[in-house]
Amino acid sequence: MSITYDYKGRSVVITGGAKGIGLAAAKRFHSSGANVSLWDMDEGRLNEVKDNFSGKIDTQVVDVTKWDSVNAAAENSFKSIGGADILVNSAGIAGPNFKTWEYPIEEWMKVVDIDLNGTFLCCRALVPFMRENKYGRIVNIASIAGKEGNPNAAPYSAAKAGVIGLTKSLGKELADMNITVNCITPAAVRTEIFDQISQEHIDFMLSKIPIGRFGTVDEIANLITWLSSEECSFSTGGVFDISGGRATY
């Protein structure tokens, strides 16, 4: 039985919300009374989610790497859900697995662009509204890879380390404005992102988790919804571990 938070009247933007962790978080927010807007570039899946969602939900087709696209989505979401009290940056890709010296250049750029620059652009678009509103909660989905550096996943590890740095900087900049910025660093969770990763790398990630299993999207959504709550008021710029014991720091 999950805890229900009081999110009535709160507006939540979730990037990467058509699938996986973002979608699980969307369900928790929605069942807690929030008005939710899902941002994703996968239009087909967004439509499917909208059709099957148990309630009203806003969806925006967005490419988080494009400033114009992010800005337009922000405007549309404001009209549709009444603002953006909470931003969850979950859009991301893993990229393929190669040694760094063999990593395809285009693929490197793509991973960093989506995972790091996309997170920046969404914060860039929504923080001014939060400042005006004198309230905000931002949760960035980084990764254990950003703390530890996974071999054969250098752009992903580097981008997620960048998300941790961005979280710490922005958290301090907004610390006296009733806006918190935190990130989480999950170990592996079986979602469609696994389709991008080699079986060898999946086995490696599992072997590193002392609890001996993958996390679940609901376990990750639990932490996201707590970090996004009003109750979580004295943590900002924080890096919250959720790695089945892999990282004990």
135 in catalytic set: no
Its sign, for the CA torsion 150, 155, 161, 164, is negative
Q: Dihedral, CA atoms, 241, 243, 248, 249, nearest 10 degrees?
A: -30
Provide the minimum distance between the beta carbon of 42 and ligand NAD in the complex, in angstroms, as a whole number.
4
- What DSSP letter does each residue of 201-240 carry, written as one string? HHHHHHHT-TT-S-B-HHHHHHHHHHHTSTT--S--S-EE
Q: Looking at this protein, which amino acid is placed at residue 9?
A: G
Residue closer to ligand NAD (CB basis): 6 or 43: 43
Catalytic pick among 103, 135, 156, 249: 156
8 Å CB contact between 174 and 132 = no
Query: What is the smallest separation between the CB atom of 8 and ligand NAD, expressed in angstroms?
Result: 26
Footprint of ligand NAD on this chain (CB under 6 A)?
Answer: 15-16, 18-22, 40-42, 62-65, 90-93, 114, 118, 141, 143, 186, 188-189, 191-193
How would you classify the pairing of strands 179-186 and 136-141?
parallel
Nearer Cβ to ligand NAD (63/85): 63
Pick 20 or 162: Cβ nearer ligand NAD: 20
The distance of closest approach from Cβ of residue 6 to ligand NAD in the complex, given in angstroms and rounded to an integer, is: 26
Instruction: List active site positions.
Output: 156
